[in-house]
Amino acid sequence: MTRVTMTVNGRQMSAETEGRTLLSSYLRDLLGLTGTHVGCDTSQCGACVVLVDGKAVKSCTAFAGDLEGAEVTTVEGMANPDGSLGRIQQAFQDYHGLQCGFCTPGMVMSTAALLAENPTPTEEEVRHYLEGNICRCTGYQNIVRAVMAASGQDAGALAAE
Amino acid sequence: MPKDDGIGASTKRREDVRFLTGNGKYTDDINLRGQAHVHFLRSDVAHGRIRGIDTSAAEAMDGVLKVFTSADFESAGGLPCGWQVTDRFGQVMQEPKHPILAEGKVRHVGDPICAVVAETYEQARDAAEAIEVDIEELEPVIDMKSALADGAPKVHDDLTSNLCYDWGFVEDNKDAVNAAFETAAHVVSLELTNNRLVANPMEPRVAVGDYDPWGDSHTLYTTSQNPHVIRLLMGAFVLNIPEHKLRVVAPDVGGGFGSKIFHYAEEAFCTYAAKVLKRPVKWTSSRSEAFISDAHGRDHRTKIELALDADHNFTALRTETYANMGAYLSTFAPSIPTWLHGTLMAGNYRTPLIYVNVKAVFTNTVPVDAYRGAGRPEATFQIERLVDKAARELGVDPVELRRQNFITADQFPYQTPVAVVYDTGNYHATMDKMLELADYAGFEERRAESAKRGKLRGFGIAHYIEACGIAPSNLVGQLGARAGLYESASVRVNATGSISVYTGSHSHGQGHETTFAQVVADMIGVDASSIEIHHGDTSNTPMGMGTYGSRSLAVGGSAIVKATNKIIDKAKKIAAHLLEAAPEDIELKDGKFSVAGTDKSVDWSGVTLAAYVPHNYPLEELEPGLEETAFYDPSNFTYPSGAYGCEIELDPETGKIDILRFIAADDFGNIVNPMIVEGQVHGGLVQGIGQALMENCVYDDQGQLLSGSFMDYTMPRADDVRGFTVDHSCITPCTHNPLGVKGCGEAGAIGSPPAVVNAAIDALHRAGHTHVTHIDMPLTPARVWAAING
C-alpha cells in the first residue's frame, strides 16, 4: 500500500492505495467523492471524466499511484464559491441537458475542458469533443444546447442540417 | 398560481441541482459499515452440464468469507415470472425454473455459477479465478428456428421442447383472415428482423443487501424501476421473507429503459447472503457483466402480410413472429411479444381483420424482456415498413395510402379487431403537422441538391400508435398478468402547509420530483417549492407498481390527483367550519379558501394548521390531520400516437447514412412540462435511431456474445445524431384519466426505426436501386452497400 496525496477541488487529500487502484476508485471509494461515476470498463463512456492538471482524463484509465501531487477537479468542485450552480452546471439545468444524471458529471467536466481549450466552439466542435461521453437519456441535443449556452452562444440555433 | 411551476410550465428540474453537483445518491454510492463484496463467477460457455465445482482453493484465499453455489439455495425458490401466457390451444406456457445460481446446467454465457463474497471486491474477484468448475460443454441453440427443429438440443431438459408457447391472436379470426387473403386484390408481404438490443442505461446495476439480526429484518438497496415489485417477487416467491421484514430502496437510479424492471438473481443473492454472513453484501455490475446479465430487448423475426382491395383499402393483416425468450423467462418476458405487441397490430388503421401468431423460443442466450417500448416498437416497425412497401408496390404515395386507411377523428372511441379500444386520436392532424414541419413540399429541391453532390436523399415516414398508461388490472389479469397494475399515492399535508407526496412511481431520469409537484401545486394553488415528492422506498410509500410503459403520469399522476382531491375535500370541510359556512359553498383558488359570493376567506396554511392544532375544529364530524392515500387503477390504456418524418442522405459509395432532420409530431394528450416531454422524445429518438443504424446485439453460433462491450456494441454518440424538431401541439386528451395525459416516454423509440429504414429505402428507390425492398436493421454502411451492390 502506498499513500498518495493529491489536491482535489483545491484541498489536499490523501489515501492508502494499491498499485492497481484507479483514480476513479481513489476518488469514489477512498475519498468518498461519489460524484464521479463509473459506467463502463473499457474507457468508452466518459462518466468518470475529471480534470487532472486542467486536462480531461477518464479517471478509470489512470492509476492513482501515478498522480502523486496532481491537481484534480471533480464535479463536486464545479459550483460557485457560494454553493450556487456554476456556469456550466447552470446551463445544463437551464437547457435540460440531463435526465438520470449518471453521465452528467463526465459531461460537465468534459465541457469544462472543452471551453478551456475553445471558449466559443461550434456545434460541430461540441459534438466532436463529446464523442467520448455517452448519454443514453437525452439524445444529446439538449446537452449540445447547454454547452453552447455555457459558452455564451445562442443555444436555440442548432442547425437542422 | 405562479405561472412558472403549474401544469403546462417548463419548470426547471429541481433534481438537477443534486445531480449537477455530484450529490446524487445512486446505489453504488451507498456503503454500509462492515460491508463485504460479491463477485459472480459466470459461465463462459452457452450451454453445459456442471460436473463438479471445487471452491476449496478460493475459500482459502485472503479475505474470502464464503463461496456460494446453488447448494446454498436449496430452500429458495426460482426467480418468478410475472406473466403467464396461454397458447392458442388453451395450454399454459412452458415455464422453467430460473435459479439464483446455476443448478446442474449453465444455459447462457453469463449464467452465474458461484458467488464469492470477500472483504474487498478485488479479493472476491481474485478468488473467483481460483474456483475450478468442471463443465461438459453441450451443443447450444442460438438461432430460434434451429431451436425449434426436431431433435434440437434442449435448453431445459425437463421441458418438452424449446417452444415456450405458440400464441394466436385473435385465434377466432384466423379463418376469416385467411379467407380475406384468398380474395384480396393485392397482397404485400415482408420478412424482417427486429434486432436484438441491450438497454444499457449508463448506471450499471447495483445491489446492496443488509440484515438486522435483532429485528430479523432485511433491507435491499437496488437499481430498480419498481421497488415494491421487487419486494413482492423476491420476498414471496424467492426468499420467503414477509413484506414487513423486507424493505427495498431504489434511490437515485441512473436510467432504466425497462432493463431495471425485472427481479434479478443478484438482488436475491445479496439479500440472502447478508443474512448468512451477518454483514452487508454489495454487488456492483461492471459494464461487461451488464452485457451478459441485464435482460436484452427485441429480437423478433417476423413474416407479415397485408391484404388490400382494388381501391387500396386494407382488408386483412396477418403475421408470424418468432420471439426470443433467451435461456430463462425474465419477469415480464412472455407478455412482450403477445399482449404488448399483438394488441397494437391495427396501428393507426381501420384494418378489419387481423391475426397474429407468435412462437416464443428458448435459446442459450441472455433472457430477453421489455426494452423501451416493449412489443409496441416491434408492432410499429412491422406495420410501418409493410405499409411503405405496399405504397411502393402499388405505385401510390405512402402518405396518401396511410391517410386513406387511417382511423378518422370522428371514429373514436375505436374498437380495433385486436381487443383494445382507442379512446382518442387524430392521425390526420399529426401527419399534417409533421409534413408541415418537415417542409415535405420542399423535399424534391433538397434531393436535387444532394444529387449534385453524389448523395442520395430520402424521406421516410412512420405513424405509430402505442398503448401506455399500463394497465387496467382486471383486464391484464384475464390476460395472464400475475400482478395488478394500479398506482398509489399518499399526500401528507404538514401543519404549516407544506406537502409531502409519496408515490409508487419511480423516477430514474423522468423528472417526477418536478412534474408531480407541478400537478399538486396547480390543484391547490400553492408554490411548488412547498411540495416534496418522495419515491423509491417501500418503507414510506404505499404499495405501488413502479415506472415503465409510459405509465407514471397517466397512472401514478392520476393516483396523486385522486389523493389530492381527497385532501381538498377534507380541507374544504375544515375551512367551512372556520368560516362558518357550508362545505359546498367553499371555493379553493390560488391557495385560498373562500365562501362563494363573500369576502370571507382563510388561506391554505390556516386550514392545515387547524387540522393539526384542532382547537377550533369539528372534532365530532372530522378526524384531525390532513393526510390521504389513493390507489388509481386505469379503466383503459392510453394511446399516444404520432407522425415521424426522417430525412437522410445516403452515400452510395460507402453505404453510410446521415440523418439530416428528424421531425416528431406527437399527440401525448395534455402536457404537464413541455421541456421534459421534449427531452423524453429526444432520448427515445436516439435509441430508436440507434437501433435502426448502429446498435446490434450479436451472438456467434456457439453463443458467445460478440457485442459485449461499448467497444463492440455501437452506442449512439453526440456526433451521430442531430437535427430534431419535436412538436406536441396536436392534443386529443385522454378521456379516462383526470389529467387527460397519455405518456411520452417510449414514443421516440417506437416511431423512429421504421421512419429511418423507410427513408433509406426511399433514397435508394429514388436513385433507381429498386431491387432493394428491405434492409434489416441496423442499416450499417456495410449492409447498405451490400444491398446496393448485391
In order along its 161 residues, chain A shows pLDDT tens digits of 999 999 999 999 999 999 999 999 999 999 999 999 999 999 999 999 999 999 999 999 999 999 999 999 999 999 999 999 999 999 999 999 999 999 999 999 999 999 999 999 999 999 999 999 999 999 999 999 999 999 999 887 675 55
Q: What residues contact B661, with CB distance under 8 A and at least 6 apart?
A: A160, A161, B438, B645, B646, B647, B723, B725
Report angle CA B374, B378, B383 to the nearest 5 degrees.
140
Residues B643 and B727 occupy one common structural domain: yes
Is residue B475 in a domain? Answer: no
Predicted pLDDT of residue B3: 53
Q: Given an 8 Å threshold on Cβ–Cβ distance, is B255 in contact with A161?
A: no
Q: Are B67 and B58 in contact (CB under 8 A)?
A: yes
Is residue A124 in a domain? Answer: yes
CATH number for the domain including A114? 1.10.150.120
Whether residue B2 is predicted with pLDDT greater than 50 in this model: the reply is no
Is residue B147 in a domain? Answer: no
Is residue A160 in a domain? Answer: no
Q: Which of B26, B685, B719 sits opposite A127 (nearest CB)?
A: B719
Residues A24 and A65 occupy one common structural domain: yes
Residue where one domain finishes, among candidates B603, B632, B661: B632
Q: Which residues of A touch B687 (CB under 8 A)?
A: 136
Instruction: For residues B756 and B464, give the distance between their C-alpha atoms in angstroms, rounded to a whole number.
Output: 13
C-alpha B305, offset from chain centre: 27
Domain count, chain A: 2
For residue B542, what are the domain limits?
3-23+486-632
Residues A55 and A95 occupy one common structural domain: no
Question: What's the pLDDT tens digit per position in B388-421?
Answer: 999 999 999 999 999 999 999 999 999 999 999 9
Quick one: CA torsion of B779, B783, B788, B790, rounded to 10 degrees?
A: -150
Nearest to B97 by CA among B113, B76, B67: B76
Q: Given an 8 Å threshold on Cβ–Cβ distance, is B26 in contact with A34?
A: yes
Q: Which residues of B touch A85 (CB under 8 A)?
A: 17, 20-21
Q: What residues contact B370, with CB distance under 8 A and at least 6 apart?
A: B258, B261, B262, B295, B297, B332, B333, B336, B340, B548, B549
Q: Which residues of A touch B721 (CB under 8 A)?
A: 139-140
Residue where one domain finishes, among candidates B632, B657, B676: B632
Is residue A161 in a domain? Answer: no
Residues A98 and A121 occupy one common structural domain: yes
Give me the helices (H) in B438-557, please.
443-452, 473-478, 512-524
Q: How many CA atoms are closer than 13 Å to the CA of B769, on its beta-carbon side?
A: 24
Q: Which of A103, A128, A139 sits opposite B721 (nearest CB)?
A: A139
Residues B123 and B245 occupy one common structural domain: yes
Residues A141 and A114 occupy one common structural domain: yes
Choose the mutation target among B10, B14, B16 for the interface with A, i.e. most A CBs under 10 Å: B16
Residues A62 and A106 occupy one common structural domain: no
Q: Which residues of A touch B206 (CB under 8 A)?
A: none
Which string of b and e fits B106-134 if b means at least 16 CB within 10 Å? bbbbbbbbbbbbbbebbbbbbbbebbebe
Is residue A120 in a domain? Answer: yes
Domain count, chain B: 3
How near does any CA of chain B get to the CA of A89, in Å?
6
Quick one: CA torsion of B144, B147, B149, B153, rounded to 10 degrees?
A: 170
Q: Given an 8 Å threshold on Cβ–Cβ distance, is A42 in contact with B685?
A: no
Q: Which residues of A touch B12 (CB under 8 A)?
A: 93-94, 96
Predicted pLDDT of residue B4: 74
Phi then psi for residue B589, to 5 deg, are -145, 135
Nearest to B510 by CA among B548, B477, B544, B472: B548
Residue where one domain finishes, among candidates A55, A77, A99: A77
Residue B742, all three cell numbers: 397519455
Residues A8 and A58 occupy one common structural domain: yes
Predicted pLDDT of residue B1: 41
Q: Position B325: which residue type?
A: M
Residues B577 and B671 occupy one common structural domain: no
Q: Given an 8 Å threshold on Cβ–Cβ distance, is B286 in contact with A98?
A: no
Report angle CA B202, B206, B209 to the nearest 5 degrees.
165
Q: Which of A42, A108, A139 sits opposite B724 (nearest CB)?
A: A139
Q: How many CA atoms are closer than 13 Å to the CA of B300, on its beta-carbon side?
A: 33
Which string of b and e fits B346-355 if b means at least 16 CB within 10 Å? bbbbbbbbbb
Is residue A47 in a domain? Answer: yes
Residues B758 and B665 occupy one common structural domain: yes
* Radius of gyration from C-alpha coordinates of chain B: 27
Residue A108, all three cell numbers: 460537465
Is residue B123 in a domain? Answer: yes
Is residue B451 in a domain? Answer: yes
Instruction: For residues B562 and B629, give the distance between their C-alpha atoms in angstroms, rounded to a whole number.
Output: 8
Residues B782 and B699 occupy one common structural domain: yes
Q: Which residues of B touch A31 (CB under 8 A)?
A: none
Q: Given an 8 Å threshold on Cβ–Cβ distance, is B20 in contact with A103?
A: no
Q: Are B556 and B226 in contact (CB under 8 A)?
A: no
Is residue B325 in a domain? Answer: no
- C-alpha distances in Å from residue B590, one per residue of B543, B599, B661: 32, 15, 43
Q: Which of A29, A40, A100 sits opposite B508 (nearest CB)?
A: A100
Phi then psi for residue A22, to 5 deg, are -80, 155
How near does any CA of chain B get to the CA of A160, in Å?
4
Residue where one domain finishes, among candidates A59, A77, A95: A77
Residues B268 and B381 occupy one common structural domain: no
CATH number for the domain including B99? 3.90.1170.50
Q: Which of B287, B718, B725 sits opposite A130 (nearest CB)?
A: B718
Is residue B448 in a domain? Answer: yes
Residues A38 and A20 occupy one common structural domain: yes
CATH number for the domain including A29? 3.10.20.30
Residue with cell 394466436: B168
Cβ under 8 Å to B: A residues 98-137 = 98-105, 108, 123-124, 126-128, 130-131, 133-137
Residues B641 and B622 occupy one common structural domain: no
Is residue B315 in a domain? Answer: no
* Cβ–Cβ contact A141 with B under 8 A: yes
Q: Which residues of B touch A60 (CB under 8 A)?
A: none
Residue A58, all three cell numbers: 477518464
Residues A125 and A71 occupy one common structural domain: no
Give me the helices (H) in B110-223, please.
121-128, 144-147, 174-182
Question: What's the pLDDT tens digit per position in B117-169?
Answer: 999 999 999 999 999 999 999 999 999 999 999 999 999 999 999 999 999 99
Residues A142 and A95 occupy one common structural domain: yes
Question: What's the pLDDT tens digit per position in B294-335?
Answer: 999 999 999 999 999 999 999 999 999 999 999 999 999 999
Q: Given an 8 Å threshold on Cβ–Cβ distance, is A101 in contact with B725?
A: no
Instruction: For residues A23 and A28, give the distance between their C-alpha atoms in angstroms, rounded to a whole number.
Output: 9
Nearest to B714 by CA among B195, B257, B206, B322: B195
Residues A46 and A101 occupy one common structural domain: no
Q: Which of A36, A100, A123 sits opposite B203 (nearest CB)?
A: A100
Which string of b and e fits B439-453 if b means at least 16 CB within 10 Å? ebeebeebbeebeee
Question: What's the pLDDT tens digit per position in B185-242?
Answer: 999 999 999 999 999 999 999 999 999 999 999 999 999 999 999 999 999 999 999 9
Answering whether pTM is above 0.95, one says yes
Strand partners, B304: B190, B319
* Cβ–Cβ contact A154 with B under 8 A: no
| Three-state DSSP state, B572 | helix
- C-alpha distances in Å from residue B372, one per residue of B44, B313, B749: 28, 32, 7
Residues B592 and B648 occupy one common structural domain: no
Nearest to B535 by CA among B248, B200, B261: B248
> What integer is the mean pLDDT of B639-668?
98
Q: Position B138: which residue type?
A: L
Residue with cell 436523399: B457
Residues A69 and A93 occupy one common structural domain: no
Cβ under 8 Å to B: A residues 22-81 = 28-29, 33-42, 44-45, 47, 74-76, 78-79
Is residue A9 in a domain? Answer: yes
> What integer is the mean pLDDT of B616-628?
97
Q: Are A16 and A78 in contact (CB under 8 A)?
A: no
Residue where one domain finishes, among candidates A47, A77, A107: A77
Give me the helices (H) in B525-655, please.
558-579, 604-612
Residues B601 and B490 occupy one common structural domain: yes
Q: Position B659: which residue type?
A: I
Residue where one domain finishes, among candidates B632, B661, B679: B632
Q: Which residues of A touch B660 (CB under 8 A)?
A: 160-161
CATH number for the domain including B744? 3.30.365.10
Residues B682 and B607 occupy one common structural domain: no
Nearest to B558 by CA among B477, B498, B632: B632
Residues A67 and A11 occupy one common structural domain: yes
Is residue A82 in a domain? Answer: no
Max Cα–Cα distance, chain A, nearest Å = 54
Residue with cell 419535436: B726
Phi then psi for residue B358, to 5 deg, are -130, 125
> What integer is the mean pLDDT of B374-385?
98
Instruction: Specify the length of chain B in residues.
Output: 790
Whether residue B375 is predicted with pLDDT greater than 70 in this model: the reply is yes
H or E element, residue B219? strand B217-222
Q: How many residue contacts between A and B have a Cβ separation below 8 Å?
A: 191
Q: Given an 8 Å threshold on Cβ–Cβ distance, is B718 in contact with A144?
A: yes
Instruction: For residues B483 and B549, give the distance between their C-alpha atoms in angstroms, rounded to a whole number.
Output: 15
Instruction: For residues B56 and B67, give the distance between their C-alpha atoms in angstroms, rounded to a whole number.
Output: 9
Q: What residues contact B247, with CB distance under 8 A and at least 6 apart?
A: B217, B218, B219, B220, B231, B537, B538, B539
Question: What's the pLDDT tens digit per position in B629-644?
Answer: 999 999 999 999 999 9
Q: Given an 8 Å threshold on Cβ–Cβ distance, is A42 in contact with B287?
A: yes
Is residue B712 in a domain? Answer: yes
Q: Which of B254, B675, B717 sits opposite A100 (nearest CB)?
A: B254
For residue A17, what are the domain limits?
2-77
Is residue A158 in a domain? Answer: no
Residues B14 and B48 occupy one common structural domain: no
